Structure 1
Amino acid sequence: MNKKEIVFVLGASKTGTTAMTRMLNAHPDIFILFESSIGMSSQLDKYTARFLGTYPDSRPLFSYGVTPDVFYPRLQNFLANKGYPFKILGTDAPLFGINAKPIEILSQYQVVYMIRNIRTWLAKNATIAEYFTDNDIVCLAIDYTIAFLKSFLLPRALKVRMEDIIRQNDTIIDALSSFLDVPMRPYLDEWWKVSFSKGHPKLAQQWIETHLSGSFGPRGVEDTEVKLASHPFWDQFLPIFDTYFQDPNIKVDEKVILADIERLKALKRFSPLGLKETYLQFKTIQLYPREHLRKKITKQIGKEFKRARGMLKLLMRELFK
């Protein structure tokens, strides 16, 4: 297995990393782990733990400090021995999308970098909840954009705008075919409908049914509507962001990229600026069927109840020893 057969899906959360992982996994020769930090962190994350739960005999693969060039050939052999001879393997690591360091770590491999228009991303409900952009958008916007710019320094990277998955899905499928040198059609034509038989390793992490963006196809519209306020920060920040975002796969000289990164860092002087100071309006729209949402919420409540019941049992056991 060579390094061109190892693929990483990078990007901040809520930029389409889940949809991209679902797309790639629709191909029978591709296996992409979901939200795994293999090769980038020594901690065992939730979805990797689920994989171990499904395949306890895979534990030796996950040794401390294992690097991607060692781990993925091992995983490939492990799955091949179970009857699943995948040719391309990798992982989706959305939590590293704000931190530019992993981009440098993964420079030897194929990277699909997901990006979303900063205007809508900052004002999305999930982003507000995770990063407190109601208090400050400046530092997050700059870190997000610096990570994006550093993806232009990678020798083998395909940058994909989430908006293009929504509106130009066929174009993205063709771009993936060219980038990975693997025919993606007809497998990805309706990637959201592809299912797997019981016991298939792509079900081992138990993530597909709980992540709506991987369960439904492109909706044709975005889930966040915004109108920006006039502000000097936008005047200086957006021209830099838009230069790269408008054509995310253009070739840019390294010196220009590094100079733009320094210009971005200097804009942190505007911090803190909250959403109310930088937006006239912003609204997240629910695009998914209510019935599906109801099932997801009910399932989550059931999990929380089960966890609370377990904690109560432990407490009672301690009290009545």
Structure 2
Amino acid sequence: MTPRTKNSRTRWAVVVVPVVAAAIGMAAGGRTAGAAADGDVEAFRERCATRISIALVGKGASEALLASSDPSSSVDALLESGDFVERFARFVNAEFNRDPGKDSAEDASYHLAKYVVKNGKPWSDVFLGPYKVDATGENGAVQVTEDANGLGYFRSQPWLLRYAGNELAGLKIATAYRILNNVVGLQLMATTNAPDADVSAKGREAGSCAGCHYQNWYALDHVAGVLSTKVTNDKGEVSFKPYSGSAKSLLGGKSIANDKELVQALVESENFSFQACRLSFKYLYGRSENRCEGPVLDRCIDAFKATKTIQSAMAVIAKGPGFCQ
């Protein structure tokens, strides 16, 4: 697998390809003063209202918002709306999975993100919260329920089956990667194996495969080693055998003995807060940030760490002086 991850202000961080700065100037005071000089304050406010509404809820601005003297003051209310909750949960699901699940239960990230955002819970609950996401058996309906043994959606059966992978010995490499990707934004691109390639553990230790599977802080085989193992019986039925070995040194030297400790370590890293703000930025702008936009991400990270909710991260960016330029 080949790394594709962008740079960040991390510690044991996701560091591969630095973001290239675009030549975009940002006036410290925003656009309003310039608009006033042009005699176009009203038009600027209408454009700002439209941008804020479309970015947050995917709809044109209401009459009240268009008439507002300060469109940014509506950001908090829009972030509490059902339209935002639904749209953002769909966005998260698209970011966390390569393609749609074959049924709604497989899109567990959509259901739990929607639940967490709607109820104003810490964003970390998506990954660490005591929940289970599963089908109800009624016309494909899916529900989020409290489960003391839950780990966000990472222990939900439909999600486990979706990302169990096909490693020969049942090692859940696909699961390990998906956890790293969803929590801290790690992006790796799988290389194409030759028809006669050795895909066993021995084969993965050789050549370019070793970089992603056995080296670097995210070494997939090592991370997968503390997860449950996929077991397939003679009927083709899949179950999961919990890991019962000793703790392993992962993520650059952290002692980790199971999936919960793995996710906890990821959530406690600088990468987690950075990824939450990067996700928010991409939702609002429809693109990744440029290097010159680092200051707004820093403010976003500070706010996110203080309040823990994704709405707080989103608000800092949407209310920033550069958003309506």
Query: Under a length normalisation based on structure 1, what TM-score does the superposition of the two structures give?
Result: 0.24
Query: If you compute each CA radius of gyration, which structure gives the higher value, 1 or 2?
Result: 2
What is the TM-score with the length of structure 2 in the denominator? Answer: 0.24
